[in-house]
Amino acid sequence: MKFKEIHAVIATLREEYKGWKTPAVTIVAQCNGSPFKVLISCLISLRTKDEVTARASARLFTQAQSPEEMVLLTAEKIAELIYPAGFYRVKADQIALLSRRLTEEFHGAVPDEIDQLLQFKGVGRKTANLVMTLGFAKPGICVDTHVHRICNRLGYVSTRTPDETEKVLRSQLPPEYWIEINDLLVAFGQNHCHPVSPRCSTCRIADVCERAGVVVSR
C-alpha cells in the first residue's frame, strides 16, 4: 500500500467503524473513564476476549474506581471480580501492587508520560500508549496484535514485532491518526480482517491491500 493511500483507508475505516462493536477498553474511556480505569481495563484485556474484559472491568469498578479504593481490596477479591480474564490471579496481583504504588508515590494520579508508566509491573508499551491516547487524549500509537498484523498485511509497514511497528508508524503515520489508529484497526481486526481467513471479498479497502501473509480468505 502506498503511503499516500492511508488517508483514504482511514476515511473508509471511520465509516465502517460505525457498524462494528466498539473495543471494550474504548467503551470504558467513553463512559467517563478516568486514566486509572483505562489503565486497569487495559491490564485486564491482555490475552482476554473483549466481552470478558468488558464484564470483568464493570464488576471491578463497582467495587473500586480509584487507586485509593482499589487498595482496600485484597488481591484475592480482585481476582474473584475479574475472573475469568486470562491470568486473572497474576493480573489481580499487578492491579493491587500498581494501585498501592499510585497511592503512595503518585498521590493517586496516573502518570501521563510513557516512560513513567513503563515503570509499573505489567505495563508494556501497548498499555502505556493506550493510557496516553484514551486516558489523557495525548499523542501516542498503541500497537497491539491487530495493529501490527493489519499494518503489515496492508503493506503499510514491513516489521517483525509490535515495537518495530510502533517505531515505523511514529515516523510515517500522519500525526492526526495516531490516537485513533488503534481503535480503528482493533475493531477492523475483530469484525472483518480476522487473523485467519479474513473477509477480503467484502472488504472496502481490498483494492489497496497487499494481503501480505494471507493464505486463505473469504
Question: Is the peptide bond preceding residue 84 cis, with omega within 30 degrees of 0?
Answer: yes
How many whole angstroms separate alpha carbon 100 and alpha carbon 199? 45
Residue 115 φ then ψ, to 5°: -60, -35
C-alpha distances in Å from residue 186, one per residue of 54, 82, 98, 210: 15, 22, 26, 19
Find, among 12, 13, 1, 10, the residue nearest to 190 by Cα.
Answer: 13
pLDDT at 34 over 80: yes
218 within 8 A of 159, measured Cβ to Cβ: no
All three cell numbers of 60: 471491578
Q: Identify the band that residue 3 occupies on the pLDDT scale cut at 50, 70 and 90.
A: confident
Asked whether the predicted pLDDT for residue 71 surpasses 90, the reply is yes
Q: How many CB atoms lie within 10 A of CB 23?
A: 25
**Which of 37, 50, 144, 183 is the catalytic position?**
144
| Residue 93 annotated in active site | no
Interatomic CA distance for residues 157 and 177, integer angstroms: 15
**Residue 114 pLDDT exceeds 80:** yes
Nearest Cα neighbor of 99 from 115, 121, 83 is 121
pLDDT of residue 31: 85
| Confidence class for position 169, pLDDT limits 50, 70, 90 | very high
- Selected catalytic residue, list 37, 91, 126, 183: 126
**Whole-number pLDDT of residue 131:** 96
On whether the CB atoms of residues 37 and 28 are closer than 8 A, the answer is yes
Report whether pLDDT(4) > 90: no
Identify the three-state secondary structure at position 209.
Answer: coil
pLDDT value at position 1? 82
Residue 144 known to be catalytic = yes
- Mean of all residue pLDDT scores within the chain: 95
In contact, 218 and 201? CB cutoff 8 Å: yes
CA distance 184 to 162: 16
φ/ψ (deg, to 5) at 212: -60, 125
Q: Write down all domains in the chain, each with its CATH number in brackets.
A: 3-20+140-208 (1.10.1670.10), 24-135 (1.10.340.30)
> CB within 8 A of 159, min separation 6: which ones?
148, 151, 152, 165, 167, 168
